[in-house]
Structure 1
Amino acid sequence: MWGICCRTVVKVGMAKPRHLVKPVSATRVAGRYLTHQKGLPGLPVPPLQQTCERYISALEPIVEVDELTHTKELLDDFQKAGGLGERLQSGLEKRSHNTENWLSEWWVQVAYLDYRMPVIVHSSPGLVLPRMNFSDKQGQIRFAAKLIAGVLDFKTMIDNETLPVEYLGGKPLCMNQYYEVLSSCRIPGLKRDSVVNHAKSLPKHITVVHNFQFFVLDVYHSDGSPLTADQLCVQLERICRASAESSVDPVGILTTQHRDSWAKSYLNLIKDKTNKESVLAIQRSIFTLCLDGAVPQVSDDMYRSCVAVQMLHGGGSQWNSGNRWFDKTLQFIVGEDGTCGANYEHAPAEGPPIVALIDHVVEYTKKTEMVGSPTVPLSMPQKLHFNITPEIKNHIEEAKHSMNVLAEDLDMRVMVFRHFGKNVPKAHKMSPDAFIQMALQLAYYRMYQRCCATYESASLRMYRLGRTDTIRSASSASASFVRAFDDPSKQNTEKVELMEKAVKAHRQYTDTAISGQAIDRHLLGLKMQALEEKLPVPDIFKDVAFAKALHYQLSTSQVPSKTDCVMCFGPVVPNGYGVCYNPMINHINFAVSSFNSCEETNAGQLAQAVEGALLDMRTLLEQTPRAKL
């Protein structure tokens, strides 16, 4: 149940802007990373009574009155002096003194590694970059070569410990996730997956996938210097020539399976020595580059939505779902027609390091091309071979079928809201993120005449090894605002007051969350502490209201980026929506997803409703004198 919280991306809206292409230091600053990490505070354990009170407030807009009364009774019993709540709280506080971060190990385990649904759609986000200026194989190879060089440029900062420290509200952030995204990979297990990181063994290669075939491409010379973009072009051309035919079994599609199914297929696959060596080479690689064919021809309006599907799951077995290794933490995807983006496995990291790396790489690819480098002999990229038994072939066919069912079920709409961006809320002295979140609340209310549990990710990176907590965007203030907005009996001045209160309440909850005082991870910790101490799971976690609180029909995330891109992910419940957005100065990129199998939801309709809500909110502010500040 708690695992559903992981399928959104971290909120990074308040981070200071980065200068993206920094000179890479040639000198290693040994020990800088550890020194920085040790200086960060540990994640606090919020007071028990505070969390219980805030939990009740969070339930008010989404549960019935009788359910709320019952929950209050359960919480009163839970908080009794000398009771179960106090014991669990005490256990958590002891754990916080004895660990670097009392939450992080539990969170990765429960939210990711124990989660058994496929990583595609349900967990791993995709990222859609603007269409690049090429439309043939040669252009694809040239761009991909520069992309590789850009990642290696960023990697040098990680390796040398010269990566600039990020700040939030003047406070330094944990940089650990940057050290987890390269040379790492998820490994399927029968009940729980694991993540391996090979960075310390200094891998020298990336994995390149083309026409469902995998290659090891060494990206460093024997003296440790990286291959130039020109040299990488030569190697990528060799790979494309060596894999011109696509009549092979797409082994990569196995990584799209339900995790238990993939774990069984995986054990079967690596029984063979050749297969095991090939899989290990993929796992050890710095990252994966997927060279795709052109995407299906669609109208300009649907182009970004079509690309989002390619980044999220590859479009099905007939397209590019087999041209991936979805367990790899970082996959860059470059299509022959200029489509470009990424997919990342969520367990090792949140959005910020991925976005920072991609921003850096995109800027790097814009640099003028270097003059041709000296000709040096380059060893042929090594093709990875797989021995496909009839049993493995059956697993591949099953994976194709399951993948296609999921691809058919997902409805993904990317909308570029061009009327305004973060400039408008800022002009009215409102947080752009809170303004957009209230538009989402209004859009949902207009469609369904009710409020729903809404998840937005908040960064806990002010604390050592911090990951995320939940900003609960549905509040009593937001409920009052959306109910009044279309009520003709309400005056505009009152509606604006309610909007301002709702935006302010969201801003306050955001501050609460990033300072480690939100409710969701604390409640998870209390539940996990009960399991750790082999105590009965408290009744508050068996409550109907608790199930409703975790049934996020709106799973949302703001992922700002210097690059004009948008992240995308699937809904976290069958009758829900996934909404990711990137607010730019004068426009906002949205990706909205839902499942076709649910008759209640429709991604296109929600996207239209969000557009209408944003426009109506702006009109209200402009037409109401007291809003003009």
Structure 2
Amino acid sequence: MSRLAPRLPIPPLESSLEKYLKSLEPFIDDDHHVRSHLRAIADDFRDGLGKKLQTRLKDVDRVSPTNWLDDRWWIKLAYHTNRAPLLINSNWWLLYKDDPSTPNDLKMTKDSRGFTNWQILRAAWLTRGLLHIKQLLDKGEQLPDLSKAARWFGPRANKLFGMTRLPQYDCDHLTHVPLPNLTKHIVVFAKSQAFKVDVIDAKGGIFGWDTIAKSLSGITESLGNDLDSPVGVMTAVDRDTWTRNREHLKIISQKNELTLSAIESALFTVCLDDYTLPPRSKEQDVLDGHMINIAGGINGKNRWFDKSMSLIVENNGRAGMNGEHSFVEALVPSIVADYTLYEDMPVNASIASQQQSCRSERLRWVLDDHIISEIKSANSVAERILNDSEPSELLFSEFGVDWMKEVAGLAPDAFIQMALQLAWFKNQGYFTATYETASTRIFDNGRTDTLRTLTSESKRFVKTMMSKDVNDSAKYDSLLQATKTHAKNMRDATTGKAFDRHLLGLRMLLRPGESHELFDNKYNAMSSEWKLSTSGLSAGPRFNGTGFGTVYPDGYGINYMAGPSELKFGIESKLHCSATSTYGFKRDLLSSLQEMRHVCETQQKTLKARL
């Protein structure tokens, strides 16, 4: 980011401790003894060990190139030391809307296997769009309508092209991406076979989308029965297993090392699926099949989950993107993807027989019995992960951001978060710690902080809404107070005044033999058990949905987009957990939004009647 961006501040210790204590209130249940004990813990920390840790953190800040959190700890702690599979657990996914030119016979789910011309044309069109964005970013140009975000967006978006998470024992790392990135190729996957395709010429120019389409067509036509085992599925398993298998691949043959290098250095991958995945049952929405495929495909095949961006196109033209999460939040690739959808495909597009194609090369593997066995095992692991995942999208068109502002008179994000609180309580019957991503991108190399949605005010709002003895005016007042608290907490979090990352930094500086009850008490644990993990993206008018996996097996992962007149919620939970149900949560969220609308509109009618 620009050196003009301010550094991430270190909040005053007293301020963070007060906010910490306030965040524990919803879990205390008016127990005066517990409240007094927690206050004593915080005071002891402030006057003793906390003061030492604060000094150490300031020392860390002085020697950090950009900021004390992200330079030193965040990616490692939040992502790279996590050994769980990236599939569902970490990677995000985006579902594109269909192109208006989609042939009528392909608009519904296509049952037959095989690649189609329309699929190839759309994949080429979207590939060309991504490359065009890279070209603009390389030149330092701003994307249209993004002037306010240019300072933080450009460097992050540009490094998406070529970024790959590489597995290592204990802690992964990211590939180094120079700016500008002179890499000229992408990697295309079809039937789990990898092809290197040069999409940029020797002078740095991008090949036309029709040239790219000809190359993709040649790839799909060249596939016969001589198919390598689906090596990419091994990127779907736990990171230490993938580390071991990746090292074994390199030992077997230098050809494998070259193939890995080509994939991991590629600007991005394009995954051409020779099918259109239907929903799991007739009761499910057609969109659910699309979501499952973009999230993980069929048992993790035809994917490379380590890549920061994988463009996925099914044989009926449905498309989307899947990406590795550690380098940036999903907002950045979602903006990149959105720009590729600005311009619709040309009507009556076709692949000319005389059209030139890009230079392409099939990437082969040399495999032994051990790796073939590991691939089969990885396939089983991916199958279990995907079969246990229940993702679905709630498309809500009864109102959107405009109504929340103009009629309800409330902050839209806060309104949505209160709806999620109400839906959770209806669904589960108890309150839980709730995480919302708050962006700190205004700071140099800033990423995120935690916004704790469950507050005393949001808890009071839910109880009020659930009571039959409270009138709509009182319900609106409780909603108003809850949204005001949430909006203030969001302002604090985005301006470096939140406390979660601050306390994390202090905890990381504990020395051997040092400990404190501030970090170890049960209320601290309860308040950070994020069974409801949420994050908002942009309005997303060109997306059908988005999502990520739940953090806890008995919780929900919810990614939402708020447009002027519609809301979209991507919801994921685990099928093995009898306490949760994605479709049950969708019903509870729908009723919560409708009930909150009724409360707000009743309040407005009452106010007008008084005038």
TM-score by length of 2: 0.91
Instruction: Map 1:202-221 to 2 at 5 A.
Output: 202-221=182-201
Instruction: Map 1:220-259 to 2 at 5 A.
Output: 220-245=200-225, 247-259=227-239
Tell me, yes or no, if the aligned pair for 2:189 and 2:195 is still in contact at 8 Å.
yes
Partner of 1:497: 477
Answering whether residue 451 of structure 2 is matched by residue 485 of structure 1, we say: no
Between the aligned partners of 1:55 and 1:124, the Cα distance in structure 2 is 30
Answering whether residue 270 of structure 2 is matched by residue 305 of structure 1, we say: no
Tell me, yes or no, if the aligned pair for 1:221 and 1:227 is still in contact at 8 Å.
yes
Residues 429 and 259 of structure 1: CA distance in aligned 2, closer, same or farther (over 3 Å): same
Once the two structures are superposed, residues 372-407 of structure 1 have per-residue CA deviations (whole angstroms, 9 ceiling, x without a partner) of 999786464101111111110111111111111111
Q: What one-letter code is carried by the residue in structure 1 that aligns with 2:317?
A: G
Q: Secondary structure at the match of 1:37?
A: coil
Between the aligned partners of 1:43 and 1:420, the Cα distance in structure 2 is 37
Q: What one-letter code is carried by the residue in structure 2 that aligns with 1:92?
A: L
Between the aligned partners of 1:588 and 1:328, the Cα distance in structure 2 is 29
Between the aligned partners of 1:355 and 1:419, the Cα distance in structure 2 is 24
Once the two structures are superposed, residues 283-321 of structure 1 have per-residue CA deviations (whole angstroms, 9 ceiling, x without a partner) of 0100000001223334595221221111111142xxxx1
Q: What one-letter code is carried by the residue in structure 2 that aligns with 1:600?
A: A
Q: What RMSD in Å do the two structures reach over aligned CA positions?
A: 2.4
Answering whether residue 24 of structure 2 is matched by residue 59 of structure 1, we say: yes
Residues 70 and 384 of structure 1: CA distance in aligned 2, closer, same or farther (over 3 Å): farther
Q: 1:141 aligns with which of 107, 115, 120?
A: 120
Residues 626 and 464 of structure 1: CA distance in aligned 2, closer, same or farther (over 3 Å): farther
Q: Secondary structure at the match of 2:404?
A: helix
Answering whether residue 268 of structure 2 is matched by residue 287 of structure 1, we say: yes
Tell me, yes or no, if the aligned pair for 1:211 and 1:246 is still in contact at 8 Å.
no
Answering whether residue 92 of structure 2 is matched by residue 114 of structure 1, we say: no
Partner of 1:48: 13
Between the aligned partners of 2:537 and 2:576, the Cα distance in structure 1 is 28
Answering whether residue 548 of structure 2 is matched by residue 569 of structure 1, we say: yes
Between the aligned partners of 1:546 and 1:184, the Cα distance in structure 2 is 36
Tell me, yes or no, if the aligned pair for 1:40 and 1:174 is still in contact at 8 Å.
no
Q: 2:434 aligns with which of 435, 443, 454?
A: 454
Between the aligned partners of 1:496 and 1:124, the Cα distance in structure 2 is 38
* Cα drift, residue 145 of structure 1: 0.8
Q: What one-letter code is carried by the residue in structure 1 that aligns with 2:3?
A: K
Answering whether residue 568 of structure 2 is matched by residue 585 of structure 1, we say: no
Answering whether residue 257 of structure 2 is matched by residue 276 of structure 1, we say: yes
Tell me, yes or no, if the aligned pair for 1:311 and 1:341 is still in contact at 8 Å.
yes
Partner of 2:530: 552
Between the aligned partners of 2:133 and 2:333, the Cα distance in structure 1 is 11
Partner of 1:161: 140
Answering whether residue 508 of structure 2 is matched by residue 510 of structure 1, we say: no
Q: What one-letter code is carried by the residue in structure 2 that aligns with 1:551?
A: E
Instruction: Map 1:73-112 to 2 at 5 A.
Output: 73-80=40-47, 83-99=48-64, 100-105=66-71, 106-112=73-79
Tell me, yes or no, if the aligned pair for 2:210 and 2:355 is still in contact at 8 Å.
no
Instruction: Map 1:156-555 to 2 at 5 A.
Output: 156-164=135-143, 173=152, 175-200=154-179, 202-245=182-225, 247-271=227-251, 272-298=253-279, 299=282, 302-316=285-299, 321-366=300-345, 378=357, 380-427=359-406, 428-530=408-510, 534=512, 536-555=514-533
Q: What one-letter code is carried by the residue in structure 2 that aligns with 1:523?
A: L
Q: Which moved more, 1:332-341 or 1:561-570?
A: 561-570
Tell me, yes or no, if the aligned pair for 1:147 and 1:365 is still in contact at 8 Å.
no
Tell me, yes or no, if the aligned pair for 1:37 and 1:175 is still in contact at 8 Å.
no
* Cα drift, residue 538 of structure 1: 3.1
Give the number of aligned pairs.
586
Q: What one-letter code is carried by the residue in structure 2 that aligns with 1:43?
A: L
Between the aligned partners of 1:584 and 1:160, the Cα distance in structure 2 is 31
* Cα drift, residue 621 of structure 1: 1.3
* Cα drift, residue 547 of structure 1: 1.7
Q: What one-letter code is carried by the residue in structure 2 that aligns with 1:555?
A: S
Report sequence identity in percent. Answer: 28
Residues 161 and 461 of structure 1: CA distance in aligned 2, closer, same or farther (over 3 Å): same
Q: What one-letter code is carried by the residue in structure 2 that aligns with 1:289?
A: V
Q: What one-letter code is carried by the residue in structure 2 that aligns with 1:103?
A: L
Q: Secondary structure at the match of 1:363?
A: coil
Once the two structures are superposed, residues 530-572 of structure 1 have per-residue CA deviations (whole angstroms, 9 ceiling, x without a partner) of 2xx5562433222212221221111011112242332101100
Residues 392 and 417 of structure 1: CA distance in aligned 2, closer, same or farther (over 3 Å): same
Once the two structures are superposed, residues 237-266 of structure 1 have per-residue CA deviations (whole angstroms, 9 ceiling, x without a partner) of 111112244853110000000111111111
Between the aligned partners of 2:512 and 2:142, the Cα distance in structure 1 is 43
* Cα drift, residue 170 of structure 1: 9.3
TM-score by length of 1: 0.88
Between the aligned partners of 2:87 and 2:355, the Cα distance in structure 1 is 40
Q: What one-letter code is carried by the residue in structure 2 that aligns with 1:492?
A: D
Residues 493 and 469 of structure 1: CA distance in aligned 2, closer, same or farther (over 3 Å): same
Q: What one-letter code is carried by the residue in structure 2 that aligns with 1:539?
A: E
Between the aligned partners of 1:143 and 1:167, the Cα distance in structure 2 is 25
Q: Secondary structure at the match of 1:341?
A: strand
Between the aligned partners of 1:206 and 1:192, the Cα distance in structure 2 is 26
Residues 607 and 90 of structure 1: CA distance in aligned 2, closer, same or farther (over 3 Å): same
Q: What one-letter code is carried by the residue in structure 2 that aligns with 1:88?
A: L
* Cα drift, residue 94 of structure 1: 2.3
Once the two structures are superposed, residues 91-133 of structure 1 have per-residue CA deviations (whole angstroms, 9 ceiling, x without a partner) of 1122223221111131111001111111111111111112342
Q: Secondary structure at the match of 2:525?
A: helix
Tell me, yes or no, if the aligned pair for 1:141 and 1:236 is still in contact at 8 Å.
yes
